[in-house]
Chains A and B, each alone.
Chain A
Amino acid sequence: MANLTASQDKPQGTQVPKRFAIVLIVGLIALGVCVLVSLAFGSRAMGLKEVLDGLFRPEVDSYSASVVQKRIGRTVFSLLAGGALGVSGALMQAVTRNPIADPSILGVNTGATLFVVGGIAFLNIGSANEYIVLACIGAAITAIFVFGVGSLGRGGATPIKLVLAGAATSAALSSLISAIMIPRAQVMDQLRFWQVGSVGAATWDDIAVFSPFLIVGILIAFVTAPALNALALGDEAATGLGVRTGVLRLVASAAGVVLCGAVTALAGPIGFVGLLATHLVRLLIGPDQRYLIPMSALAGAVVLTVSDVIGRILGSPGELEVGIVTAFVGAPILILLAMRSKVRSL
């Protein structure tokens, strides 16, 4: 009884996680630094002064000013896309109650890509809006399929079953993508970034089309966060707390699918960002979704932008697609999670 009153006095839910303020500040500083770095590096590296001059006093050196201007679009897009992927990863993990859910591991990215590539090849689509719609449909179908296969049998959707279903589906879909692309070798160059994601080709128009999807997805994520906390206790407990688990799962996973579908439509399949971002954040501030989701957005933005910069440095004079970098940086998290987990939970 005493316990009960105590918890009513100070409901656990309202507690701000330890270190949240510090982590937030550090995260924002990191974000600022990576914006500057992203503006500075590329086939022509610039000093901080040049970047700042280019940004605020374009009259000093019109050439660096134009380079910086060019890079602004790319940087903004990679921040937004990274944020979307971070939130998408967090939502998928919460909905499946599974620490290794991530759009790329579940094959959702590949499904979105297949639909876009198929749309370009057979339906002659060409606008960003159409890309996004098709990508979302592809992502949704793949998500449903993978989750369906992964949750068959005893124990429901265990991590190992989901990962295997995702990897198998992803392999099947990428073979189909190759089969669609090879006969169209002449347009291969335009299509190529569909195999490995890249943020380099995004334009301001793309960003304008992308933003509404991003905003809707993130709003849904914020609204459902408290209910997702309840879901973490298990379906029965969540129902007991007044959560309609079916509706919640549907809404939250729809948001996750739209976020990752929209990114994939414009940037191709970028893997492991969600996994990396959410686990980094969970390690720092714990599992409360109301803090985890926004911080995952921040972390995702930082991870993707930094990866893009690394890709530009490693790939110079050209550039390395960001999807390659994120796979290399993010896949170890999967290995780590596999090493840490108990045999039973696999």
Chain B
Amino acid sequence: MNNLTTNNTIAYIMAGRRQRSRRYWGVTTVLAVISLLLCFLMLYFGNTIYSIDKIARVLGGEQIKGATFAIHTIRLPRMLAGLFAGFAFGVAGHIFQTMLRNPLANPNVLGITTGSSAAAVYCIVILHTSEAVVSVVSVAAGLVTVTLLYLLSRRRAFSIGRLILVGIGLDAMLSSVITYLLQKSASQDVPAAFRWLSGSLNGSKLEELPPLVITVLVLAPIILLLGKHLSLLELGEQSASSLGIHTDRTRIALILCSVCMIAMATATTGPIAFVSFLAGPIARRLVGVGHTNIIPAGLVGVILVLAADLIGQFAFETRFPVGVITGILGAPYLIFLLIRMNRKGDF
């Protein structure tokens, strides 16, 4: 009798696990398909619409008058920048939110993207350095911002509220630095300003992309490996360490990887507003809890960036940079989330 109940329980648990797993893979596949579709649309739409056959031939390396320029110089870099930056923002945002166990604690709100952005602007518009230097400096700036954030908000007891307040303060200071640098550089043109204040894919160049692409391809697998521990970290410090995880080491490694990814993405596209904040919660809602939603979060990031860029480019008479669109979509959700958290009494 007793044995039977145990068996039933096990069967029940296994069935639940299978169901969750099926849902995880199902959702992930759908997200991946949507991402691919959006990538294609990024190549397809533009001032001139080329046939699918032509696009394939151009991508294959054939020279076609007009199409080669439009796709290789404009649409492909834009698509790749959106793809990799979106993935990086989504994954890194999700890692931060999970580790700090608060959806508001993401690189966007905490001023980390703004720190990287400020450093990138300094290198690009004042020092005129090469892409490699820009990447290294913006990663370093991201790490410095995180360290500063940690040191400033570490008092006797750690408090997520204090961390967020300090982050908002840092963010305000660093944004003013960016505005100052943009003015000082006399590169007063609006696209540049938008790229560094709210993120834009305008003017992405193929030769600027390798640092970002390499970073994502190297760090995403590492994060995925460490991510197995993430769901245990989510249970809280004590449970995780009693389950045999080196909480500090895992945490530091995860933060380092996330900051590197986010800094690289920021150095390429600017801080695209709210993507790192939205991706995690959306993925969680789609997949459900119980999984480390790293890949779904990254894919949601890709979808958000590419879809917002397509909307910004083609839905209105004027072209809007992607950051403005994600800002308009993301901010109401942030407010909604705040209302819900306040009701529940999370703060």
Interface residues of chain A, those whose CB is within 8 Å of chain B, are: 100, 149-150, 152-155, 158-161, 163-165, 167-169, 171-176, 178-179, 182-183, 185, 188, 196, 271-272, 314-315, 318, 320-321, 323-325, 327-328, 330-332, 334-335, 337-339, 341, 343, 346
- 12 CB < 8 A contacts A-B: A150-B342, A153-B347, A161-B338, A161-B347, A167-B168, A168-B331, A169-B335, A172-B334, A183-B318, A337-B165, A338-B166, A343-B157
CA distance A339 to B164 in the complex (A): 11
Contacts of B334 in A (CB 8 A): 168, 171-172
In chain B, positions 163-208 with a C-beta closer than 8 Å to chain A are 164-166, 168-170, 172-173, 175-177, 179-180, 183-184, 190, 194, 198
Which residues of B, 310-347, contact A by the 8 Å Cβ criterion?
316-318, 320-321, 324, 327-328, 330-332, 334-335, 338-339, 341-345, 347
How many contacts between A and B, using CB within 8 angstroms?
149
A339 touches B176 (CB 8 A): no
Binding site for A on B (CB under 8 A): 104, 109, 152-153, 155, 157, 159, 161-162, 164-166, 168-170, 172-173, 175-177, 179-180, 183-184, 190, 194, 198, 273-274, 316-318, 320-321, 324, 327-328, 330-332, 334-335, 338-339, 341-345, 347
Q: Which 8 A-B pairs have the closest CB atoms?
A: A172-B331, A175-B327, A338-B165, A346-B161, A183-B318, A335-B169, A334-B169, A153-B342
Specify which chain B residues have a CB less than 8 angstroms from the CB of A330 in the assembled complex: 172
Q: Which of B190, B335, B339, B347 contacts A188 (CB 8 A)?
A: B190
A152 to B343, CA, bound (A): 6
Whether the Cβ atoms of B345 and A160 lie closer than 8 Å is no
| A164-B162 contact in complex given A149-B335, A178-B324, C-beta closer than 8 Å | no
Q: Are A165 and B166 neighbours in the complex by a CB distance under 8 Å?
A: no
Could you tell me if B317 and A324 are in contact, using CB atoms closer than 8 angstroms? no
Q: What distance in Å separates the Cβ of B208 from its nearest Cβ neighbour in chain A?
A: 24
Most chain B CB within 10 A, of A152, A167, A337, is at: A167
Minimum CB–CB distance for B297 against chain A, Å: 21
User: Are B175 and A327 in contact (CB-based, < 8 A)?
Assistant: yes
11 additional contacts (CB under 8 A) given A160-B161, A327-B172, A334-B168: A164-B338, A165-B338, A168-B331, A168-B338, A175-B331, A178-B198, A324-B179, A328-B180, A332-B173, A335-B170, A339-B162
